[in-house]
Amino acid sequence: TRTRCSVLIVGAGISGITAAKELAENGAEDFVIVEAADRIGGRMRKEDFSGVTVELGAGWIAGVGGDHINPLWEMARHSNLRTCFSDYSNARYNIYDNNGNIFPAGVAAEAYDKAVESAIEKLENIEESDCNSDETPSSPKRPIDLAIDFMLHDFEMAEVEPIATYTEFGESEFLVADERGYEHLVYKMAETFLFTSHGKILDNRLKLNKAVREVQQLRNSVVVKTEDGCVYEANYVILSVSIGVLQSNLISFSPPLPSWKTEAISKIDIMVYTKIFLKFPYKFWPSDPDKEFFIYAHERRGYYTFWQHMESAYPGSNILVVTLTNEESKRVEAQADEETMREAMEVVRQMFGNEIPDATDILVPRWWSNPFQRGSYSNYPVYVNHQLLQHIKAPVGRVFFTGEHTSDKFNGYVHGGYYSGMDTGKALVEEMRGEMARERENHHKF
């Protein structure tokens, strides 16, 4: 079957849905949204874990309390989404050694300041030499320094360089702790322009379980094929798949994407970020709010380092969360969950002693192995040039690119996805109006 429409949107995460909303609000309602998964929301995804709603993907509304209001914060307030303030700054004072002792505050503070200083120095060196040398003069060696280095580089670069999210919207972060999930905000938005009934989207312009594999540009249209053999022909395509998917060759382009585009795609890193949830029969960790985040100083960098208890979000849930990134994420995704549980328990016992009970359940998200994600979020090189930013979001013929990774200011965040969708929607409306005007003119000529 061949479906004809004016605009085909690939992907129903926040960027794709926002772009569609922008089109709908500008009278361009002849669109179809194709989504590989069986749901909308993309990387905003909740799951039930032992009776508690946990966020496998985006968990925080980052950037709250500043001069400008974060649009996601506004939406959350509008929907009465339940959120909890997160104070990461205490994490550095809750660093455990392998005897279960917490490092004295003075030692931790000193190690932290040293790490910030050397990170700034490293940044300045990169700036000066304009090359990416990994040879830091003083690479951290002690477990506590490795732990702090991990926390600094994989979580809080804001302490080292200004990040637009925090400078514009404020420095606070709020954890979403609502049974409807963070994804509820995407549903609320979709509801404003897609036909829904009893909380279900029934609009036939939304096609789930449709994985795009081919994008072929003809002179005046684009033909898109999905894995199940469906064919769509549209005047324009908006592609909102992640940078990881673009790097993976899941989708073949004909003619091939130009080299300026493929080069830009290859220059942006994809970060893998994995929150592993562990359920316990009872709580054995200190559950005060200032102990919400804690760290284990292992001799291996990033090895079950960063921990959070869920007592603030869901009191009595008896759940701990440990966050792994990049190589550790990939390693754990490839092994059985029982093995991951065994490794995690070993670390938990180093911190809290051998008498504690075994975890009764584990949840390991697999963002890297998911062919429709291939990672968690984009990570721009420390110094990006203007050209790279232009190239990553520039359309190629009738194919427009959107998604978190195309937001030069807020890439990596939910609000980055939101703004990119809005910008792309606007740009396409402009383009379509221009095309219509040109057609009208030609009509008059002949």
**Given the rule CB under 6 A, which residues bind ligand FAD?**
10-16, 34-37, 42-44, 57-60, 62, 211-212, 240-242, 245, 250-251, 273, 275, 367, 372, 376-377, 403-404, 412-414, 416-417
Nearer to ligand FAD, 251 or 295 (CB): 251
Q: What is the smallest separation between the CB atom of 40 and ligand FAD, expressed in angstroms?
A: 7
Nearer to ligand FAD, 123 or 211 (CB): 211
Q: What is the smallest separation between the CB atom of 250 and ligand FAD, expressed in angstroms?
A: 5
CA pair distance 329, 302, nearest whole angstrom: 10
CA pair distance 163, 210, nearest whole angstrom: 36
Q: What is the smallest separation between the CB atom of 181 and ligand FAD, expressed in angstroms?
A: 12
Q: What is the smallest separation between the CB atom of 269 and ligand FAD, expressed in angstroms?
A: 14
Nearer to ligand FAD, 275 or 291 (CB): 275
Long-range CB contact pairs, 329-332, < 8 A, 24+? 329/272, 329/273, 329/274, 329/367, 329/368, 330/272, 330/368, 332/274, 332/276, 332/364
232: helix, strand or coil? strand
Q: What is the smallest separation between the CB atom of 55 and ligand FAD, expressed in angstroms?
A: 8
CA pair distance 145, 299, nearest whole angstrom: 9
Q: What is the smallest separation between the CB atom of 418 and ligand FAD, expressed in angstroms?
A: 8
Helix (H) or strand (E) holding 379: strand 377-379
List helix spans (H) across 273-336: 326-334
Q: How far is CA 427 from the centre of its chain?
A: 23
Q: What is the smallest separation between the CB atom of 296 and ligand FAD, expressed in angstroms?
A: 20
The residue with tokens 């954890």 is 175
Nearer to ligand FAD, 149 or 404 (CB): 404
Q: What is the smallest separation between the CB atom of 12 and ligand FAD, expressed in angstroms?
A: 5
CA pair distance 376, 400, nearest whole angstrom: 22
Alpha-carbon distance values, 306 to 39, 324, 438, 446 (Å): 30, 7, 57, 69
Assess contact for 167 and 66: CB atoms under 8 A. Answer: yes
Q: What is the smallest separation between the CB atom of 414 and ligand FAD, expressed in angstroms?
A: 4
* Residue 13, phi-psi category: left (phi > 0), alpha (psi -120 to 50), beta (remainder): beta
Nearer to ligand FAD, 140 or 421 (CB): 421
Nearer to ligand FAD, 213 or 342 (CB): 213
- CA 336, 280, 365, 146 torsion: positive or negative? negative
Nearer to ligand FAD, 24 or 126 (CB): 24
Nearer to ligand FAD, 145 or 173 (CB): 173
Nearer to ligand FAD, 124 or 227 (CB): 227
CA pair distance 129, 144, nearest whole angstrom: 30
Assess contact for 271 and 325: CB atoms under 8 A. Answer: yes
DSSP state of 404: G
Q: What is the smallest separation between the CB atom of 188 and ligand FAD, expressed in angstroms?
A: 15
Burial of 351 (C-beta count, 10 Å sphere; 0-12/13-18/19+): buried
Nearer to ligand FAD, 43 or 184 (CB): 43
